[in-house]
Structure 1
């Protein structure tokens, strides 16, 4: 009897904590902050999926340079895209530097099996983490990002952040056309 009561109390506490976490996330954090090829990006949480460490990639020939191939992530094959190169910021990568990148799977609700290579995960951010907003994309935004950059923000340290709309990215004809 005492064990049942203790179990019931534990379940109630866990349910309360989960509800509090959901409430805090919905009010505070809106984006996953990442760094890609030295640039800061904000990815909407509802469009982002699971994060994986570098698993290695099976290269696919005759594809664009930004499409690296496929990876097996929890038994599912996903295409791997170097987001930096796609956005016009290619960088040299070594085998050692690949061990430090992460793969961010796009939310399965967007119906595209793809993971994006990101150099650093910088945590969660909300609108209150920034001091100014610009609705227009930055002037130096690459052509490939046209239509997928929703807004630009500036943080208190003067850093520039661009919001990438992943749902626009994965629907872009350029993104869907991986062949050379």
Structure 2
């Protein structure tokens, strides 16, 4: 119960900071940091939407394994994608792990009713939080951005949500 309250408090703080960052006109070099499938990921604030606690989805038959189903997010239906599975990590999760996960809706400006399941929210990051960066690798997916390295040596992969939302594989959910 205490973990659930702490998660709700973190989500509330992040939502408030996300809204404040948007209203202050933060540049594209600010990210929502998440962890998914054992990876540290950076999602651009300008492309991110509202954060929701995991509440389950309505499964859709004959879809890709990474497409979890459809969820009602504040009255709007959104397809929920397991970000870890989409990026190639193992998709198996326990009910406990799902209960601790969050669903991040994509910004409405991207014109796709989709949300991403992430394992853990890790806060907001700006370019000053990193000591080095590396450009996207030649063989990387087109929605991968730069890789950023923080002071502790952790590698954070930027995901361009607009490019992801337009990628043919993301748009083709049928199995």
Instruction: Please confirm whether the aligned pair reaches a TM-score higher than 0.5, indicating the same fold.
Output: yes
Aligned to 1:38: 38
TM-score (norm 1): 0.81
Q: 1:125, 1:67 → 2: CA distance?
A: 28
Could you list the runs of 5+ residues in structure 2 that have no partner in the other structure?
1-18
SS at match of 1:162: strand
Post-superposition shift, 1:27?
A: 6.3
Question: Of 135, 146, 155, which residue of structure 1 is paired with 2:150?
Answer: 155
Question: Of 153, 165, 172, which residue of structure 2 is paired with 1:170?
Answer: 165
Number of residues paired by the alignment?
157
Does structure 1 retain, via aligned residues, the 8 Å contact 2:28–2:46? no
Q: 2:116, 2:26 → 1: CA distance?
A: 24
Q: 1:128, 1:154 → 2: CA distance?
A: 11
Q: 1:27, 1:166 → 2: CA distance?
A: 16
Does structure 2 retain, via aligned residues, the 8 Å contact 1:35–1:120? yes
Aligned to 1:88: 88
Post-superposition shift, 1:95?
A: 1.3
Aligned to 1:100: 100
Runs (4+) of structure 1 exceeding 2 A deviation are: 18-23
SS at match of 1:168: helix
